[in-house]
Amino acid sequence: MNAETILVTGGAGYIGSHVVRQLREAGESVVVLDDLSTGFREAVLDATLVVGQVGDEALVERVLAEHAVGTVMHFAARTIVPESVADPLRYYGNNTAQTRSLLERCVKVGVRHFVFSSTAAVYGIPGDGRVREDSPTQPINPYGSSKLMSEWMLRDLDAIGALRHVVLRYFNVAGSDPQARIGQSTKNATLLFKVACEVALGRRTQLSVFGSDYPTPDGTGVRDYIHVEDLAAAHLQALHYLRRGGASTTLNCGYGHGYSVREVIAAVERAHGAPLAVLEQPRRAGDPPSLVADASRAGEVLGWRPRYDDIDVIARTALAWERRLAAASPS
């Protein structure tokens, strides 16, 4: 166990809570900062929770100092693409301006390491559907732009030796803690696996498939789905990497292969044992036919080795969590 404390912003949310749980299981000292606007107090489990906003400079500075924080893992953000298009200033304020405030506090109190939750949305619509870390960054929505600007701030702080970082660009996160202790609890979520599981359990009436005429094997969009447990493990590997003196870096987090929308639906149907109600609709503007990570550098740099790279495992764990939520709130 390391003597330092790790601050996890947004640690009551879907991905953050899985990282917090793994950190605590590894014996790390963790404090969570979350305003609980989209997160859940019960998802924090046994870590210390401070309720507040990342943009509250006095609060952040006090937490960093009082808990002797050496590393910050920053998850707190708005993440819904259509919402970012409808309300761009909210995303630049929450995702970019508040990250700038957090970074300033980190530099002031001497935080050494920063692990940043970024996104494949920074790539926009790649020509061949497959992206490396050095692929052009051309976001097509304010969500992707807000995250890319935060990456730039980290790059510039590293250039002056103020803070070393690992940026992790997530692809499509799915699944749940295999023991169903925590999971994706956000109401009206748009993640495909979650929506499909809610349809399976009658929590939604049908699943919309946006576009069935893409130039893909079955006509539906292909994405790189990564199990949340594997993604969380990448954060712990990033922490160890920085503690060993690793240089600042940016890494894709995906499996390097994709599944189509129809393949995801089929996997949830297998887990559920019954067909889903599906409605085919026209394509949505801005959706690429395919988006898959070249994630080889994460293995080379961090030693990251996925354990849950199986669409049926993702579907079973996602469905198990939705069944727990349905049992707790039948309505």
What is the per-residue pLDDT across 285-326, written as a single tens digit (0 to 9) for each? 878 899 999 999 999 999 999 999 999 999 999 999 999 999
Tell whether 239 and 324 lie within a shared domain: no
Tell whether 153 and 268 lie within a shared domain: no
| Structural domain includes residue 136 | yes
- Are 172 and 226 contacting, i.e. CB atoms less than 8 angstroms apart? yes
The catalytic residues are 143
Tell whether 170 and 263 lie within a shared domain: no
| Structural domain includes residue 164 | yes
pLDDT in tens, the chain (331 residues): 467 999 999 999 999 999 999 999 999 999 999 999 999 999 999 999 999 999 999 999 999 999 999 999 999 999 888 899 999 999 999 999 999 999 999 999 999 999 999 999 999 988 888 999 999 999 999 999 999 999 999 999 999 999 999 999 999 999 999 999 999 998 888 899 999 999 999 999 999 999 999 999 999 999 999 999 999 999 999 999 999 999 999 999 999 999 999 999 999 999 999 999 999 999 988 788 999 999 999 999 999 999 999 999 999 999 999 999 999 877 6
Q: Of 134, 277, 287, 105, nearest to 206 (Cα)?
A: 277
How many whole angstroms separate alpha carbon 295 and alpha carbon 74?
21
CATH number, domain of 284, equals 3.90.25.10
Tell whether 208 and 240 lie within a shared domain: no
Q: Of 10, 17, 9, nearest to 228 (Cα)?
A: 17
Q: pTM for the whole thing? A: 0.95
Range of the domain at 265: 192-224+256-293+308-328
| Structural domain includes residue 25 | yes
Tell whether 73 and 200 lie within a shared domain: no
| Structural domain includes residue 179 | no
Tell whether 213 and 275 lie within a shared domain: yes
Tell whether 123 and 211 lie within a shared domain: no
| Structural domain includes residue 322 | yes
Tell whether 156 and 263 lie within a shared domain: no
Tell whether 69 and 115 lie within a shared domain: yes
pLDDT in tens, 245-255: 999 999 999 99
